[in-house]
A and B are shown apart, each in its own frame.
Chain A
Amino acid sequence: MSTLLIIFYFLSAITLATAFLTIISKNPIHSAIYLVICFFSVAGHYLLFNAQFLAIVHIIVYSGAIMVLFLFTIMLMNLNKEGEPHKKIATKLAAVISFGLVCFVMLAVFIKAMPKMETYRTSGQDFQSIKVLGKVLLNEYMVPFEFASVLLLVAMMGVVLLSKKEKTIQ
């Protein structure tokens, strides 16, 4: 077993474990912390792929922006206690069963569909440096890139719309 493989398994274990913990933690704050760890481990995967730029962006966006947003909201709502009421056994059972089912089905499907990978293509060229990514993003993917701004604009407008208090009501 190569080192890489060991690192991969290690990272994967962390990823899955933290993801799982995120879900079953009763305290939302804990969940958020676990999730951050999970994101970091995913970033680790990215680094494994030698996609440094992406790893950094990932950490900035997810751990930096999204998670902060989450934590901010949790604190805003004062949700750091274990506020969730006791769920029905049936719900839990259903969730667990469907998780098992989905996992089984998906894995089975992919195992069945997995092609025999004898060799992996190695282009030898640089395909994921910032330079290349920038070129692709701003040449080929210029339109989606611009269109993503529309998306963000809409999201921004929406958040404002949802949060702004009407003048008439005051």
Chain B
Amino acid sequence: MNTLIAISGLGILSLLAEIFNARKAIVPVTIIGLLAILGFNISTYNHLGAYYNNMMITDKFSVAFSSLFIVITIFLVALSHEFYKDQKTKISDYVGIKVFLLAGTVAMVSFGNLSMFFLGIEVLSISLYILAASNRLNLKSNEAGMKYFLMGSFASGIILFGICLIYGATGSFDLNTILLVISTQAYPQWYFIGIIFLLIGMLFKIATVPFHFWAPDVYEGSPALTTATMSSLAKIVAMATLYKLVMALLPVQMYSFQLIIVCVAIASMVLGNIMALRQNNVKRMFAFSGISHAGFMVSTLLLMSNAANTLLYYASAYAVAGVAFFAVVMYVTKDKENETIDSFNGFGKSHPLLAGILTASLLSMAGIPILSGFFAKFFLLNQLVHTGWLVLVIVAIISSIISVGYYFKIILAMYTKDSEHTLPKVPVMYQIVAVVALILNIALGLFPNVVLNLLG
């Protein structure tokens, strides 16, 4: 709970900094603040409980995921200074929005009441609409913002409808009360309809097939840092929230519900990977890759044991790989009209370190061992076999194989082609973020225990 307050305060602080003309200090101060909050958040691990009439629940799940979100936000904020170099006057807005976005995400994973959930997801969504459209002179960015906004608010309507039906069935927004009602009384069927509406809305936010159409367009059109935010942060937030919702509201999963999850997961894995094969725009490709990863993450809903841990691990692995990926992509595609794969030609020779990092993150996402992506997939599949959905496992394997095809397109471009133009000097911050993300990635791979046992 206090984390949420602190984050909101930090957001306001960054707004105030603009007023006091302390632009240069914004990013460092925010990062330090976030680090402090991270420390504080981790310390609340020992003070679990519900706050303010059960509006916020601090449990292991929320603490762990909040910490992950904070870490990712730190990366994103660290990248901001360099990324928004040309728009110095707006830096406080950007940083502020990102911090508020973080507040929204924290609310989403620690809610105890559906109203908090709804507000959290709206804070997140609205921030993202803004960030997507934030390059206001660029029609692509406008278009991305518009598409995201239209479809996003449509999905918000559906989520709201879902909440409404749940309320109609149980008479409460409080998770505990709802659980009590459905386990002790007869309640109308609306409840399930509401759950499904919620599920659909969240699947939209996670971008799974068939609710994925917005993702490629929006990812491509948005400024790179926003894309990074959407892909690494928003996706896993939505996934964690969905997980929490399903676990809290649907204690017993029906077969038909599972079947829907399986279908969605399979469709996402396959379609995402196949579509990514023919993409020439790196961000767009990453969107499709994200769709397939969403398929993987969604299948954690089926797991019978250790699901939260697996999800946390998968999300962390995916996020750190994504951050490293975007740190490099942002550098390479800066000042470029399109983020085509050709931009990476000869990158391996001119920048061995960054190319190596990019390669490592791609390999991680492709699921090659020692990088965390592999372990994530392994743990997930390991649990999945247990559930008996072997079809899903096989499809996951096949789609992993397909995914190698496009991840390696970038690697091929980096190492086998010659570059046509030179790139400016590498910004230090990009390099630091990329390196730290890579280290985290490898560390997660080498010591999976650290993350894997957090949630008991």
Contact = CB atoms under 8 A, between A and B. Distances in A.
Direct contact of A and B (CB under 8 A): yes
B119 A115 contact: no
B126 A158 contact: yes
Interface string A106-117: 000110111100
A87 to B, nearest CB: 17
A155 B55 CA distance: 23
Contacts of B122: 151
Interface string A133-170: 00000011111100110110111011011111011110
A153 B127 CA distance: 10
Contacts of A166: 87, 89-90
Contact of A143 (B87, B94, B116, B190): B116
Interface residues of B, number: 44
A10 B224 CA distance: 52
A144 B100 CA distance: 14
A158 B97 contact: yes
B97 A143 contact: no
Contacts of A114: 188-189
A144 B119 contact: yes
Contacts of B94: 161
B86 interface: yes
Please classify the interface of chain A as helix (H, G, I), strand (E, B), loop, or mixed, using the class held by over half of its residues. Answer: helix
Nearest to A147: B119
A119 B52 CA distance: 34
Given A141-B115, A143-B52, A151-B122, A110 B193 contact: yes
B16 to A, nearest CB: 12
Interface of A: 109-110, 112-115, 139-144, 147-148, 150-151, 153-155, 157-158, 160-164, 166-169
- The 6 A-B pairs at the shortest CB distance, nearest first, are namely A113-B189, A158-B130, A143-B55, A144-B115, A115-B188, A161-B93
Given A141-B55, A144-B119, A151-B123, 9 more contacts: A109-B193, A112-B189, A143-B116, A147-B4, A147-B123, A150-B8, A157-B96, A157-B100, A168-B86
25 contacts: A109-B193, A110-B190, A112-B189, A113-B189, A114-B188, A114-B189, A115-B188, A115-B189, A143-B53, A143-B55, A147-B4, A147-B107, A147-B119, A150-B104, A151-B126, A153-B11, A154-B101, A155-B126, A157-B15, A157-B130, A158-B126, A161-B130, A166-B89, A166-B90, A168-B89
